[in-house]
Amino acid sequence: MESFVSTHLHRLRSSTNLLLSQYEPLTLVITPLLALLIASILQSFINHVQDKGLKSALLGFVMDFVKLIPVVNDRIEAEKQKVVEKMQSGGKSKRDGWQTELPKAGLGKMVMDKLKDERGNDVVWQGKCSGTIYIGGSESGEHFSLINEAYSMFAHTNPLHLDVFQSVVRFEGEVVAMTAALLGSKESDSGGKICGNMTSGGTESILLAMKSSRDYMKAKKGIKKPEMIIPESAHSAYDKAAQYFNIKLWRVPVNKKFQADVKAMRRYINKNTILIVGSAPGFPHGIIDPIEELGELAHSYGICLHVDLCLGGFVLPFARKLGYPIPAFDFSVKGVTSISADVHKYGLAPKGTSIVLYKNHDIRKGLELLRLERGMERHRHVYVQHTCTEA
């Protein structure tokens, strides 16, 4: 038996050596190294495809190769530099005369003249800057005076201390409740448990909703490598959330009508998916995504759906009352788990005010569930009171 095996091994060795003897030793050394190189390029390409999809991976690869040509690379860098300089509005010259240290003597009331002078250099926006300021026309002056007077009464309060500033706590709760009432909290389909809080803007509302959804899905389904799927038209706040909170982000091209492509989004759903997003409307085109279809999709997979009503939250409910045919977009849609609505856009409040709403306490509490798990119960009281106002 042993001699049988050894004869065969011996023969195999001789025939292999004979076969390889026709090649140069150098070829024999280089071939496996080359194969390793190709394998590693392939591996990184596959990783790219998994990360970014086939199209952008191919494009990235072609670009990487093209950039290896020095002339092309120099040209690309020069163009990039031009764009950067343009964005920094002409570079240093604009900053001539800027005050970069505290003045030796206080300016006193003169500071007001300085502010007025500087404001005179701003672009005239009145009624002319769409998507920049959300009120124009003759009534804006009176509106601003009223808002400024109200704001100045509370500009120095600290709402963290809710035992001291009970008025502010009440106002926050009331704004949350009123916004929720506009967005379906009174409909029986909403579940009647909508809660939320005020934030410093649409971006913060979205960040909080993404973090809560991530933590909720971790507690509910044990998802530790979270992914979210959004239409290409969604706001850049989702990129920020993905980076801050370690969520893999899939941006899916919109359909021919510039709406979220629900079928295409479905294809990206896997066991790590925590959330999908729809905007009503989205910022780039002002087009409303099919929220009901997205709701069905989210519901059937047991994942979260955030509706971005930053722009539409204080328009759509009224447009609907006026009789415009607006499909359902709020908590009356099954599957919607959170909503953001900017009070500082069509709510006509001063900059720095937005609302984030959650379908129920469990979703909002995503964060708190984890805190409790880790025995960090100490802040529970303040946290719950401060951030959640049952609508």
Task: Enumerate residues 6+ apart whose C-beta is below 8 A from 173.
Answer: 389
Backbone angles phi, psi at 265, to 5 degrees: -65, -35
Tokens linked to 146 = 């009223």
For position 197 contacting ligand PLP by CB under 6 A, the verdict is: no
Least Å from the CB of residue 284 to ligand PLP? 9
Q: Which of 136, 99, 139 is nearest to 118 (CA)?
A: 99
**Other CB atoms within 10 A of residue 21 CB:** 9
CA distance 217 to 270: 13
Least Å from the CB of residue 343 to ligand PLP? 10
Q: Is 59 left (phi over 0), alpha (psi -120 to 50) or beta?
A: alpha
- 237 vs 297, which CB is nearer to ligand PLP? 237
Q: Using CB under 6 A, pick the residue from 310, 316, 356, 388 that binds ligand PLP.
A: 310
- The pairing of strands 338-341 and 248-252 is unpaired
Q: Using CB under 6 A, pick the residue from 190, 213, 259, 279 that binds ligand PLP.
A: 279
- 298 vs 310, which CB is nearer to ligand PLP? 310
Least Å from the CB of residue 150 to ligand PLP? 20
Partners of 230 in the β-ladder: 251
- 173 vs 282, which CB is nearer to ligand PLP? 282
- 298 vs 307, which CB is nearer to ligand PLP? 307
For position 308 contacting ligand PLP by CB under 6 A, the verdict is: yes
Least Å from the CB of residue 153 to ligand PLP? 24
Backbone angles phi, psi at 284, to 5 degrees: -65, -40
CB 227 within 8 A of CB 388: no
Task: Enumerate residues 6+ apart whose C-beta is below 8 A from 74.
Answer: none
List own/partner pairs for 166-170 with CB under 8 A and 24 or more apart: 169/385
- 261 vs 368, which CB is nearer to ligand PLP? 261
Least Å from the CB of residue 190 to ligand PLP? 21
Least Å from the CB of residue 201 to ligand PLP? 3
Least Å from the CB of residue 227 to ligand PLP? 20
CA distance 11 to 4: 11
CA distance 277 to 252: 11
Which residue's Cβ lies closest to ligand PLP?
Answer: 202
For position 237 contacting ligand PLP by CB under 6 A, the verdict is: yes
CA distance 94 to 78: 22
For position 289 contacting ligand PLP by CB under 6 A, the verdict is: no
Taking CB under 6 A as the rule, which mask of x and - marks residues 321-350 in contact with ligand PLP? Answer: ---------------------x--------
CA distance 63 to 75: 13
Q: Using CB under 6 A, pick the residue from 190, 209, 235, 329 that binds ligand PLP.
A: 235
Q: How far is CA 7 from CA 1, 12, 13, in A?
A: 10, 9, 10
Least Å from the CB of residue 69 to ligand PLP? 40
**Other CB atoms within 10 A of residue 235 CB:** 20
Taking CB under 6 A as the rule, which mask of x and - marks residues 345-384 in contact with ligand PLP? Answer: ---------x------------------------------
Least Å from the CB of residue 264 to ligand PLP? 20
Size of the site for ligand PLP (CB under 6 A): 13
Residues 200-219 that bind ligand PLP (CB under 6 A): 201-203
Partners of 116 in the β-ladder: none
Count of CA atoms in the C-beta half-sphere (13 A) of 196: 32
- 311 vs 355, which CB is nearer to ligand PLP? 311
Tokens linked to 224 = 């530790």
For position 311 contacting ligand PLP by CB under 6 A, the verdict is: yes
> Which stretch in 153-161, 198-206, 214-222, 262-270 sits in contact with ligand PLP by CB under 6 A?
198-206
Least Å from the CB of residue 240 to ligand PLP? 10
The residues that touch ligand PLP, with contacts defined as CB under 6 A, are 201-203, 235, 237, 279, 282-283, 308, 310-311, 342, 354
